[in-house]
Amino acid sequence: MADLRARAPGREVQAIGIGLPGLVDHGRGSVAWSPLLEGTDLPFREACEARLGAPVQIDNDSNLLTLAELWFGAGRALSDFAVVTIEHGVGMGLVQGGRLFRGARGMGLELGHTKVRLDGALCRCGQRGCLEAYLADYALAREAATALGRDPRQSQSPRAMLETLFGEAKAGHESAREIFARAGRYLAMGLANLVQLFDPGLVILSGERMRYDFLYAEDVLAEMQRLVLPAGRPPVRVEVHAWGDLVWAQGAAALALVAATDEALGT
């Protein structure tokens, strides 16, 4: 914050945008639950404002990515689209009628925690059978340790383990390939459910993980289309955006700009 003020002397910081994973109530400025924070129902916006000395807006990180697409990306020309992010977890954002959908309490659109299997794999949220438990990097790393015969207690970080697994799959390791193939089928199921519920004009798959072939393999998308009714209609459009970290920052900037604009216009 001191750096920012030093770079723009004499100018006030009017709004700061912060995104984080989990159940974030944008309106109240509170975090019901986040994998990054200890505790529940935390007054996170208030704490950030006290620390930074400027107005802060908080939101779910997938919402920020969706705002970035709405303001600066493919969403500029669309009124209804969805963004799905697959990185440490599985996130989702939705634009309906040109506006970001937030739900009543900031608890919605948790695609990663929709259930795809009764009594299934343990998710980091504490429940079982969530989509994320079959798709996120920690989930694949857990399976990778077994498939590659590594001791999970002594193994690399989840990201390093995933890189190793990806290399093995590329080289033809059967178990490694099966892990990605299965994750791809779960992704197809999650995307099909999303399309069936919201009928978006475009689905954007975004995030660093999109570079892994299985996530945008033709057969994953073909399976998704197969699972969607009614047959015979034009397939939903899907785009893959393998952008870097900057896009998250663009989303945070958009969130801050919305707040500063509303403040200036008195809306």
Instruction: Report CA-CA distances (Å) from 211 to 116, 168, 221.
Output: 24, 15, 15
Q: Quote the least distance from Cβ 158 to Zn ion, whole Å.
A: 16
User: Least distance to Zn ion from the beta carbon of 189, Å?
Assistant: 15
Stretch that binds Zn ion, among 40-48, 126-134, 228-236, 252-260 (CB under 5 A): 126-134
Size of the site for Zn ion (CB under 5 A): 5
Contact 32, 40 (CB under 8 A): yes
Q: How far apart are CA 105 and CA 76, in angstroms?
A: 26
What whole-number distance in Å separates Cα of residue 108 and Cα of residue 95?
13
Shortest CB 139 distance to Zn ion, Å: 10
| DSSP string covering 180-198 | HHHHHHHHHHHHHHHHHHH
Largest CA distance in the chain: 61
Residue among 125 and 259 whose Cβ is closer to Zn ion: 125
By CB under 5 A, tell whether 123 contacts Zn ion: yes
Task: State the amino acid at position 182 in one-letter form.
Answer: R
Query: Which pairs with CB-CB distance under 8 Å and at least 24 residues apart come from 228-231?
Result: 228/192, 228/195, 228/196, 229/196
Contacting range for Zn ion; rule: CB under 5 A; set: 12-20, 39-47, 128-136, 178-186: 128-136
Q: How far is the CB of 190 from Zn ion (least distance, A)?
A: 12
**24 scored as a contact of Zn ion (CB under 5 A):** no
Backbone angles phi, psi at 115, to 5 degrees: -85, 130
Q: How far is the CB of 68 from Zn ion (least distance, A)?
A: 25
Among 4-12, 118-126, 190-198, 200-208, the segment contacting Zn ion (CB under 5 A): 118-126
Give me the 53-92 binding string for Zn ion, x by CB under 5 A, dash otherwise: ----------------------------------------
CA 195 – CA 201 distance, rounded (Å): 9
Site for Zn ion contains 125 (CB under 5 A): yes
Q: Least distance (Å) from Zn ion to the CB of residue 122?
A: 9
DSSP-derived secondary structure for 23-72? EEETTTTEEEE-TTSSSSSB-HHHHHHHHHSS-EEEEEHHHHHHHHHHHH
Q: Does 227 bind Zn ion (CB under 5 A)?
A: no
**CB of 43 vs Zn ion, minimal distance in Å:** 24
Q: Does 116 bind Zn ion (CB under 5 A)?
A: no
Q: Using CB under 5 A, which of 94, 130, 145, 256 touches Zn ion?
A: 130
The single residue among 113, 142, 185, 209 that binds Zn ion, judged by CB under 5 A, is 113
CA angle, corner 246, sides to 81 and 10, nearest 5? 115
The pattern of x and - marking residues 242 through 261 that bind Zn ion according to CB under 5 A reads --------------------
**Which residues bind to Zn ion, rule: CB under 5 A?**
113, 123, 125, 127, 130
